[in-house]
Structure 1
């Protein structure tokens, strides 16, 4: 019972968190309706939908997350229709816009005494599908316990208690809004303006959620006070919580101060149990922010692995924080496979919501942060290079911590394959994204067409560092996809190495490709993922090395022909 009370109170406290803000307009839009027939069913729908989705996400893996994308899309359409119906009720029939007409009908249905309860419940479920609260200490405890214990009624009941707690605080806000409206002088003009303002707020929230700004923007705002309150609850109720999921001690981050506390209430550790405070307190800790398809991260990795091995005996703790750049890098199975393939033996924790990233104030990939035995960040380095400075900081902080024995200086680190240091003297090509959100220097005639299939052609002449397409492609926000076999991709490059981030359309359908350099097979200049004839196969999502120039580095035209459709091409990087 204590754990249910704790979950409920943590849900109540979400009203203080910025993550609740996108939900508030949906709730307040019902302030002028009966609470029992409108507000209460909507809040219950929100709580039950959140509990169902969170339960699946905790125990069912990536397929549940993928399925919820469709539920979110449907909810966005439904709530957008509702908001537009509030703004344009008199224009819906005349404009004959399907979305506005649907919104107008939905609004009428929601105000109908016979159907108001059901419609409010439907809107509540839609809101619950969109609501993603900040994973504070208590929610982290519940989700970790659910993941460790497997599916069961207790996990779902705890998540429902959390959702009902959030619904309670939102219900209080809804009742307060009704009181304010009741005290204002009633007039048709005022009611009309209030309804329209509510519609604008609803549509604004839909846009915020649809663009993903609820996680990338709102979660950057401080929720420190909420976390402190939750930590107080955990501390006071810690003893009764042992025995379900992870222990109460492991879930209480206030046993460790500073940025390291952000590591303690996380689920998603790979090849390691969740780290506890005693594993980090008083230790020198190196935190490496990385993502497995980032060429800069890969080239820094040999140094981080060498430090972990060399200074382990003196007490250095190395932790990899995997913070993804692309959506496919969020999949825990993908990260686990990459970790094994790259030979990473130290603990890695998933940071899909960038929470640990923000706690450390990290600013790029790779990011090295070395925390002294006093719990403070004593050295930071962003990007490649300055490895000697980082190693000197490790040795100095270990000496301060009175670590036993001082390791001799290491031999120079030499990475292999994609982890080999770049040929900086000849690197003149910049990282190039293929999705239209960040695409630059596109050379095909007619430019890019966003999110729609189209026939492309390579230009007659192509400037250096420009890229082009041939065949039928669809260019999305993050990646470009050939819609038929034979789709071509060309880049005019000046660098020793050319890499391309590629993902097969389906894990069980590899995609074959062939590259040519200046119109010929690459021969000795083939990359680690191609042979001398230029052939290669995309089997999983990662960075592929297509070219490593064997002789003097010169400007070359590299063409990639995909022999099967469906591959997703994300970005060129160079070395």
Structure 2
């Protein structure tokens, strides 16, 4: 019997959802520990108890590689391979990064190769300059295949961010995991395949990295708000009085939002992926219940910063400010990325968030929570 916690001859697969708007539901299920489904193996399990789920697809079709030259199946033969599908503004992906970095460093000398496949959700995530800034911000040193055309994503038949594929030394996928959480099981699967290959040396306790700012684990017990898109293609629960007008400048006003409702005020042009502010002074309000509130934002097209002010229940955030705001609620949009605007330091309670932009031409994409 395998010493690792899976039934003999069975693999584990995390329940995933095919739409990015359901990432938060996936994360909740995984952290609750209730999303493990056993599947019948396609081949006899090896000594680790993990069966073969098919050959690891070749990582062809990347528009470029970062931190490495392109890696081929021949170069990966003899290595245990962890492929991580991610995109840099996805909060669920961001929160896995401390663990992925820790595994890459801890097991590199024993034959583990970690490969990040950066497959975009938003158009701006195809920009190599944006991806490079994210790699630097998140201190990623393992190879990244830039999959801007979704060719690798499609070859894997992948359907979620983040998603992990673990392959053995002969190029067979032995486990697939989607979403956040269950880091102990993932690392034990890595250890199982290294041990199966005769590579594992004593490593002590499992990795327990602690993320800071937006990389910190979510407060699941108090999380009652989910991902919300501002662009009309996936927008829902907006209480803007006129409704969202597609691709035209419009003066918006909003009613007071209920829980998990939001609205625009000011002159905005709402596109499929994001809303763009045309005049200074525009606001977005959101009624939420979570420790953390994040918003994906883009600065002006000329790269000049856009200043903003955050209020919580009409007051400055004080100790409840996020990593990208100060106690007075001040901040600025300097890069196209996810911004942490609120972290409730005391007890989490239902609150109304407001962000007012002091400069025009900012783009707002999506809210996420933690």
Scaled to the shorter chain, the TM-score interval is: 0.7 to 0.9
What is aligned with 2:113?
A: 317
Residues 299-332 of structure 1 show CA distances to partners (whole Å, capped at 9, x for unaligned) of 0111111110111111000000000000000011
In the alignment, the residues of structure 1 paired with residue 155 and residue 235 of structure 2 have an alpha-carbon distance, to the nearest angstrom, of 30
In the alignment, the residues of structure 2 paired with residue 404 and residue 465 of structure 1 have an alpha-carbon distance, to the nearest angstrom, of 47
Matching of residue 418 in structure 1 with residue 245 in structure 2: no
Matching of residue 407 in structure 1 with residue 181 in structure 2: no
Q: How does 1:237-248 map to 2 (within 5 A)?
A: none
- Contact 1:496/1:548 (CA < 8 Å) preserved in 2? yes
Structure 1 residues 445 and 408, CA gap change in structure 2 (3 angstroms): same
- Contact 1:492/1:555 (CA < 8 Å) preserved in 2? yes
Structure 1 residues 404 and 382, CA gap change in structure 2 (3 angstroms): closer
Among 175, 182, 187, the alignment partner of 1:386 is 182
SS of the residue 1:395 aligns to:
helix
What is aligned with 2:304?
A: 509
Shift of 1:458: 2.3
In the alignment, the residues of structure 1 paired with residue 157 and residue 83 of structure 2 have an alpha-carbon distance, to the nearest angstrom, of 12
What is aligned with 1:364?
A: 160
In the alignment, the residues of structure 1 paired with residue 207 and residue 303 of structure 2 have an alpha-carbon distance, to the nearest angstrom, of 42
Shift of 1:374: 2.4
- Contact 1:505/1:566 (CA < 8 Å) preserved in 2? yes
RMSD: 1.3
What is aligned with 1:26?
A: none
Residues 326-345 of structure 1 show CA distances to partners (whole Å, capped at 9, x for unaligned) of 00000111101110110001
In the alignment, the residues of structure 2 paired with residue 424 and residue 533 of structure 1 have an alpha-carbon distance, to the nearest angstrom, of 27
Among 243, 249, 252, the alignment partner of 1:456 is 252
What is aligned with 2:283?
A: 488
SS of the residue 2:134 aligns to:
helix
- Contact 2:252/2:265 (CA < 8 Å) preserved in 1? yes
What is aligned with 2:270?
A: 475
Q: How many equivalent residue pairs?
A: 317
- Contact 2:63/2:147 (CA < 8 Å) preserved in 1? no
What is aligned with 1:150?
A: none
Q: How does 1:141-540 map to 2 (within 5 A)?
A: 258-261=55-58, 263-264=59-60, 266-459=62-255, 461-540=256-335
In the alignment, the residues of structure 2 paired with residue 548 and residue 494 of structure 1 have an alpha-carbon distance, to the nearest angstrom, of 11
Pair member with larger Rg? 1
Specify which structure has the higher proportion of helix: 1
- Contact 1:314/1:405 (CA < 8 Å) preserved in 2? yes
Structure 1 residues 284 and 558, CA gap change in structure 2 (3 angstroms): same
- Contact 1:507/1:539 (CA < 8 Å) preserved in 2? no
- Contact 1:515/1:561 (CA < 8 Å) preserved in 2? yes
SS of the residue 1:313 aligns to:
helix
TM-score, normalising length from structure 1?
0.54
Residues 457-505 of structure 1 show CA distances to partners (whole Å, capped at 9, x for unaligned) of 121x321100011111111110011110000100001000000000112
In the alignment, the residues of structure 1 paired with residue 156 and residue 308 of structure 2 have an alpha-carbon distance, to the nearest angstrom, of 41
Shift of 1:357: 1.1
Among 559, 567, 570, the alignment partner of 2:354 is 559
In the alignment, the residues of structure 1 paired with residue 302 and residue 168 of structure 2 have an alpha-carbon distance, to the nearest angstrom, of 43
Structure 2 unaligned residues grouped into runs of 5+: 1-53
Residues 162-202 of structure 1 show CA distances to partners (whole Å, capped at 9, x for unaligned) of xxxxxxxxxxxxxxxxxxxxxxxxxxxxxxxxxxxxxxxxx
In the alignment, the residues of structure 2 paired with residue 465 and residue 443 of structure 1 have an alpha-carbon distance, to the nearest angstrom, of 10
In the alignment, the residues of structure 1 paired with residue 180 and residue 337 of structure 2 have an alpha-carbon distance, to the nearest angstrom, of 20
Shift of 1:392: 0.9
What is aligned with 2:21?
A: none
In the alignment, the residues of structure 2 paired with residue 342 and residue 334 of structure 1 have an alpha-carbon distance, to the nearest angstrom, of 12
- Contact 2:102/2:207 (CA < 8 Å) preserved in 1? no
In the alignment, the residues of structure 1 paired with residue 297 and residue 95 of structure 2 have an alpha-carbon distance, to the nearest angstrom, of 18
TM-score, normalising length from structure 2?
0.83
Q: Runs (4+) of structure 1 moved beyond 4 Å? A: none
SS of the residue 1:311 aligns to:
helix
In the alignment, the residues of structure 2 paired with residue 259 and residue 506 of structure 1 have an alpha-carbon distance, to the nearest angstrom, of 40
Shift of 1:447: 1.3
What is aligned with 2:34?
A: none
Shift of 1:264: 4.7
Structure 1 residues 441 and 404, CA gap change in structure 2 (3 angstroms): closer
